[in-house]
């Protein structure tokens, strides 16, 4: 399998952590196709945050592909419907929709011939324990494990240094380490 045959699908958490660490380009290091699902792109750019503009610029500068999902379309319809009913259009359900959209994309990859390999990059430790369905052609990996992978393959000098930079920039991400001790 060649690097171009693998799609890295980061969730919002890893994107935010790497943005805090000024290390978004690490997503490009393995040579895999970096792909965002539309719901995750919306999650990380919809509000002004310490990382939202940085992420928007990085996505545009690197011409990161954004995959359309039914999950995001449903979210938009629900939000539009609520906006006609209430003063709070953001009240539409949004919890875990990024993960749902990523799973949707990975399931679509499984139907391709040959199947495309999807790597789900996550940070929320609940996902590691959850019943997130990963098709045979899919993998899931935590931010820390991804950084360790890059270090082991000589793409970065120190995974701990990237983690330290994120923490020093006030990013509080999951303290759970994989595999658990």
Quick check: is 175 in a domain?
Answer: no
pLDDT (0 to 100) of residue 10: 97
Can you read off the two tokens belonging to residue 25? 């380009």
Quick check: is 86 in a domain?
Answer: yes
Domain that holds residue 124: 3-168
Distances (CA, A) of 153 to 29, 133, 157: 10, 28, 10
- DSSP class per residue in 30-76: T-PEEEEEHHHHHHHHSS--TTHHHHHHHHHHTT-EEE--HHHHHHH
Please indicate whether residue 172 or residue 110 has the higher confidence score (pLDDT).
110
Quick check: is 147 in a domain?
Answer: yes
Cβ neighbours of residue 135 under 8 Å, at least 6 residues apart? 106, 107, 109, 110, 115, 118
Quick check: is 179 in a domain?
Answer: no
| Confidence band for 80, pLDDT divided at 50, 70 and 90 | confident
Which of the residue ranges 89-98, 152-161, 165-174 would you say has the lowest mean pLDDT? 89-98
Can you read off the two tokens belonging to residue 15? 């994107």
Quick check: is 126 in a domain?
Answer: yes
Residues 85-144 have pLDDT tens digits of 655 555 556 678 999 999 999 999 999 988 899 999 998 665 655 566 788 888 999 999
Quick check: is 30 in a domain?
Answer: yes
pLDDT (0 to 100) of residue 115: 87
Q: Average pLDDT of 156-177?
A: 84
Residues 33-67 have pLDDT tens digits of 999 999 999 999 999 999 999 999 999 999 999 99
- State the number of CA atoms in the 13 A half-sphere of 81 facing the CB: 8
Please indicate whether residue 177 or residue 10 has the higher confidence score (pLDDT).
10
pLDDT (0 to 100) of residue 82: 74
- Is residue 169 pLDDT above 60, yes or no? yes
Distances (CA, A) of 141 to 43, 54, 61, 113, 177: 20, 23, 25, 24, 11
pLDDT (0 to 100) of residue 87: 52
Into how many domains does the chain fold?
Answer: 1
Helix, strand and coil content of the chain, in percent to the nearest 5, comes to 50, 15, 35
pLDDT (0 to 100) of residue 171: 86
| Confidence band for 181, pLDDT divided at 50, 70 and 90 | very low
Quick check: is 97 in a domain?
Answer: yes
Quick check: is 162 in a domain?
Answer: yes
Sheet holding 117-122, edge to edge: 65-67, 33-37, 6-10, 117-122, 138-142
CATH number at residue 120: 3.40.50
Rounding to the nearest 10 degrees, give the CA dihedral for residues 51, 43, 103, 95.
120
The strand ranges marked E within the chain are 6-10, 33-37, 65-67, 117-122, 138-142
Q: Average pLDDT of 5-19?
A: 95
Cis peptide before 179 (omega within 30 of 0): yes
Beta-carbon count within 10 A of 84 CB: 7
């Amino acid at each position: 399998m060649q690097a171009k045959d693998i799609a890295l699908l980061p969730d919002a958490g890893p994107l935010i952590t790497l943005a805090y660490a000024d290390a978004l380009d690490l997503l490009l290091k393995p040579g895999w196709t970096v792909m965002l699902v539309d719901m995750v792109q919306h999650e990380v750019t919809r509000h002004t945050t310490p990382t939202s503009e940085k992420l928007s610029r990085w996505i545009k500068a690197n011409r990161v592909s954004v995959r359309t999902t039914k999950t995001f379309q449903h979210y938009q319809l629900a939000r539009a419907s609520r906006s006609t009913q209430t003063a709070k259009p953001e009240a539409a359900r949004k919890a875990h929709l990024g993960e749902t959209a990523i799973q949707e994309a990975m399931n679509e990859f499984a139907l391709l011939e040959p199947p495309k390999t999807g790597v789900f990059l996550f940070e929320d430790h609940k996902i590691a324990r959850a019943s997130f369905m990963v098709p045979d052609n899919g993998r899931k990996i935590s931010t820390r494990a991804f950084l360790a992978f890059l270090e082991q393959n000589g793409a970065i000098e120190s995974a701990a240094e990237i983690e330290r930079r994120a923490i020093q920039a006030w990013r509080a991400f999951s303290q759970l380490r994989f595999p658990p001790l």
